[in-house]
Structure 1
Amino acid sequence: MAKSFTVTSTLNEIKNVDDIFEMVGGFGKFQVFILILLLSLEVPAAFLVFSPVFTGGTPTEWQCGNETILKSDPEFCSYNCSLTSHHSTIVSEWNLICDLGWVSDFITTLQMLGMFFGNVLTGQCADWYGRRWTLLGNVCVLSFGTIMSAVSTNVFMYAVARLICGIGFSGYIFLSMTYAMEFMTPDWRSICSSVGPFGEGIMLLGVLGYYFQDSWRTLLLVSAIPYSLIFIIFPLLPESPRWLLRTKKVEEAHKVFSYIARINQTSPVTIETLYKVADLDGNSGDQNVKKISYVQFFKNKDTRFTTLCLMAIWSAWAVMYFGIGYNIKNIGSKIYLNMIFMGLSDAVGYPCSYFVNSMCSRKKSLAGFMTGAAVFLCALAILQLFLDLSQEPTIVLALCLTGKLFAAAARASARTLTGESFPTSIRNMGFGMVGVSASLVGLVAPQLAYLGSRWPSVPLFAFAACSLLGASISFLLKETKGQPMIEEINKPGRKLSIISIVAANLRRLSTGGGDLKH
């Protein structure tokens, strides 16, 4: 429920940007509207990141002339003929089998490498040039990479296209959440990472994969269609008012808050109030805002420690989450049905995270979900070591997808904790830093999935170990639940001169700002 502000008491009661959002309605119609606009493109983003499960899969049946050969045949690579398959993937089209069997998973690794570059570029651009235009750029990269993949004439062109896809995906997936979070009050921030249709997108990909299994190119082209929604979404998106205040564009921030108040049907905030908040956050005065680089980013002790902890957590999560996702092709049953179930685990896991985050602290929620994932993955790995589960695909699938559910909930909790741990001035760069580590360590996920085709328990133990490591590290972070969002990096040890204190007090007196600072 929003706080109540009167006209006469507003200037005295408004202390930070969160109070301004409470004044213009808290969580209202505008916040629902912005969530729909920013998170709707998670559907095609889910298509993009997991489409290699279909486009890069190795068919189980091949033709050698008029003879049908199974991929599991020990003599598969010894046949002296040109092997072909009716199942359409890049493997069958470019004959990526036997000595070239590693290429498909390596291309998926290149997609993960693209996420590394996307995190670095998007974080810097969003904090320097704004959230709105950076988001547009990311969606354009996503659509370009997907279409280029679909029209690739050889494996090298396809590999470059997937690298581009990775750049766009990592940038969009964290920016859309932090962008939405900056319009929320403390009680509603966790919803930004819990309601996106990413899981539903994975489920829909399973359906599309089934209907377009005869043409991997058509599957990719169809998956690119939803990106056209950006032409409707972009004109309706306002810039983040937190970023505008931080960059001293108070007049533009006033227009955004007026837009929010109009949709929420509340009284608009005065521009004097915004100037006061900008002054309290240290964002008034000189109009030249210093652009923070990644080098300066690590000079602050507290920020450095927070970043290193979050980098470790996200790295552990990336190996677990993407490893389970790419390993799904090594589980029995129909791959299309497996993909639908995998999406269902995400669709259930994200809302679960919101309710748990509402009841528990951010750290306990994250640690609990990552530990839960490890328990189910370890259980499956141990069963596969001592029992023959080849005839029991349902048990394998159930344990694997339950672990995936906990992994999805852990992702939502980690996104909330990360967004609240970084100041507005470096929030997207912070996400970029943790995303870089997740992308680099996540490069091993497709390779672990490749090992899973030979030794099923090995990747599961690796995923569980990473998950437990991330759960342990989460307790080193500061709790952020219910706290106002930080707008600037603290500068511990900074000493104010007598002249600067006097000048600040004279400025406040001249504007009727209240008591002197001591």
Structure 2
Amino acid sequence: MILEEILSDVGDNGRFQIIFTAVITIMEVVIAWSMLQTALIGATPSWWCIDPTTYGFPNMTLNNATYQTCSVAADVVTNGLVNGYVNGYSNSTDIPTTTLAAATSSMSCVRYYDPGMVTIVGEWDLVCERKYIKAVINSVQMAGVLVGSVMAGQSSDSIGRRLTCYVTMVLHALTCLVSGFATTWQMYAVFRFFVGGAIGSYLVLHYVYVIEFVRHTWRPYLASIPAWALGAGMLCLTAWQVPNWRHLNFICAGLTVPMVFGWFVSPESLRWLAARGKVEAAEKVVELIAKINGRTKATDTSEQLSLLAEEEKSHGQQDKKYTYITLVQGGWKNVMKTLVLGFAWMSLSMSFYGIIFGVSALSGNVYLNMFLLSVVEVPLTLSTAFITVRIGRRWTSSLFFFLASLTGFGILIADRAAAEETRGTIISVVAICSKLFIAAAWTCMQTFTAELYPTVIRSLGLGAANTAARVGGILAPFVLEMDTPYDAVRCYIIVGSIMAISGLSVLLLGETKGKALADTLHQEQKELNI
């Protein structure tokens, strides 16, 4: 492969690759924070249903009879029925009149939320008959991720990886900032849609952008960098110390700002430039890589790049505008590949975010559970690189799908067989293992999917897979609603089933282990037997 040889000459595993990978991948820490914070800022704090006639300090009584009860007995309600929330007030006279004033026949108590945990649930009273709104907000964000995935796949293959990547970062910083100023749940949902768009764009693009500068043996290791787990862990520790949803949005926006300056040190993808016939620009990138790596480019670099451009042009592809339709053209094998990858990514996303959004259903502290769900995946995620290098992408992916399936069904067994005093702990441990294997399978699929498509449509391929994943994410809050331990058991049966189907389906795909990345559709047809 022409570009493989050029990169080998100037260094495909040197100082440039380390710096560039760090600059692009560090943003994943912030993206993970942004995506997963919904699980914590949407957590339900302790709350009580208080008789309106005794509401306020010091007469208000908080006890088990009023804890998380949607109404109180009718005979204790006098002078109208009041619905409101209190968050952080130490004296009843400080509570805004609008909170306590409106009388309504549909409510029979005033809800008091624990001021020690300021979430959108307490902010906008998202319990009881308004409980569904939390799932709506989660799904709206996932819809934004879906739209961002579609647009980034098309954009990065049309106008380049670099511009798409950094426009995404600017959008993320701005939308996270304004999210923290939302005054209604509807306003917040709209802002989170645009945050989701930035998240989806980055998730499609960043891995493609990085692997196009390295040799094939490095690709699995890049996918296993635990940036996502690091971001999730940072979120949990920060939310534990700063349990305020507005502040978490502001912090996330602030963390994004330094990433934007990576624009000044990030070149356009060499492969994208070469495949698009931009020979002069591609040669400048080669010179930059050679300079940073302390190497010298070959004297015939320009001729080699021109040869690749001519090859693309000779097949009528250089000026072609690729679209998602291109992914299913060229025969039934391409259709099958796209469908299999789409189902696998949808299953992974639905299961992964179903577990994350349902973390409050697990026994124990919500922050600790979230932290454990995040950090335990690091050792196995790192090991996936070594496993995929040895046994291949296809078998490694299938292995982790089946392990996720077994642990999913294991929760059903634990629910039926474990003693009552240990049941909650056992289910939590098995749930953590299930999420661990799902994360490992997703790491493998990221490498596998990127390698199955040539450079000219690689972002489109990952965009389609990510779009399918976001459909799964949108469905997750509804299909895998885990608000109670009973719901969690039922949902893990679904997880076990779709993981097993995915584990079988990926075996239909061709192996990409040890193969150079194809740059054109013509090369793909020759190199990959899929």
TM bucket (normalised to shorter chain) is 0.7 to 0.9
Which digits, 9 at most, give the CA deviation of each residue in 1:336-395, with x for residues without a partner?
111111111232232121111121110001001111111112112221134455655432
Structure 2 unaligned regions, length at least 5:
74-107
Greater shift, 351-360 or 263-272, is seen at 263-272
Q: Which residue of 115, 137, 141 corresponds with 1:111? A: 141
Verify the 8 A CA contact 2:279 2:302 in the aligned structure 1: no
Query: Map of 1:348-387 to 2, 5 A cutoff?
Result: 348-387=379-418
Which digits, 9 at most, give the CA deviation of each residue in 1:252-273, with x for residues without a partner?
1111011111111111234434
Match of 2:506 in 1: 474
Which digits, 9 at most, give the CA deviation of each residue in 1:133-167, with x for residues without a partner?
00012112222221222110111110111111211
Q: Which residue of 345, 368, 390 corresponds with 2:376? A: 345
Partners of 1:342 and 1:279 lie apart in 2 by: 47
Query: Map of 1:118-267 to 2, 5 A cutoff?
Result: 118-213=148-243, 215-267=244-296
Partners of 1:170 and 1:303 lie apart in 2 by: 24
CA RMSD of aligned residues (A): 2.3
Query: Map of 1:1-80 to 2, 5 A cutoff?
Result: 15-62=1-48, 64=50, 65=55, 66-68=60-62, 73=67, 75-78=69-72, 80=108
Partners of 1:187 and 1:233 lie apart in 2 by: 26
Which digits, 9 at most, give the CA deviation of each residue in 1:469-504, with x for residues without a partner?
11111111111111111111249999xxxxxxxxxx
Provide TM-score, normalisation by structure 2.
Answer: 0.86
Partners of 1:457 and 1:185 lie apart in 2 by: 44
Q: How many residues align?
A: 479
Verify the 8 A CA contact 2:29 2:232 in the aligned structure 1: yes
Q: Offset at 1:287?
A: 10
Q: Offset at 1:62?
A: 3.0
Verify the 8 A CA contact 2:401 2:502 in the aligned structure 1: yes
Verify the 8 A CA contact 1:131 1:179 in the aligned structure 2: yes
Q: 1:246 to 1:73 in 2, by over 3 A?
A: same
SS at match of 2:208: helix
Greater shift, 55-64 or 189-198, is seen at 55-64
Verify the 8 A CA contact 2:47 2:67 in the aligned structure 1: no
Greater shift, 465-474 or 278-287, is seen at 278-287
Partners of 2:308 and 2:161 lie apart in 1 by: 19
Partners of 1:376 and 1:432 lie apart in 2 by: 29
Match of 1:289 in 2: 319
Q: 1:30 to 1:196 in 2, by over 3 A?
A: farther
Q: 1:377 to 1:337 in 2, by over 3 A?
A: same
Q: Offset at 1:208?
A: 0.7
SS at match of 2:112: coil
Greater shift, 385-394 or 91-100, is seen at 385-394
Verify the 8 A CA contact 2:216 2:515 in the aligned structure 1: yes
Q: Offset at 1:196?
A: 4.2
Match of 1:460 in 2: 492
Alignment-mate amino acid for residue 111 of structure 2: L
Identity of aligned residues (%): 25
Provide TM-score, normalisation by structure 1.
Answer: 0.87
Verify the 8 A CA contact 1:362 1:413 in the aligned structure 2: yes
Structure 1 unaligned regions, length at least 5:
1-14, 495-518
Match of 2:105 in 1: none
Alignment-mate amino acid for residue 505 of structure 2: I
Query: Map of 1:297-316 to 2, 5 A cutoff?
Result: 297-301=327-331, 302-316=333-347
Q: 1:330 to 1:155 in 2, by over 3 A?
A: same
Alignment-mate amino acid for residue 68 of structure 1: L
Query: Map of 1:95-106 to 2, 5 A cutoff?
Result: 95-106=125-136
Match of 1:436 in 2: 467
Verify the 8 A CA contact 1:60 1:72 in the aligned structure 2: no
Partners of 2:188 and 2:470 lie apart in 1 by: 20
Alignment-mate amino acid for residue 77 of structure 1: S
Verify the 8 A CA contact 1:39 1:196 in the aligned structure 2: no
Greater shift, 422-431 or 71-80, is seen at 71-80
Verify the 8 A CA contact 1:345 1:404 in the aligned structure 2: no
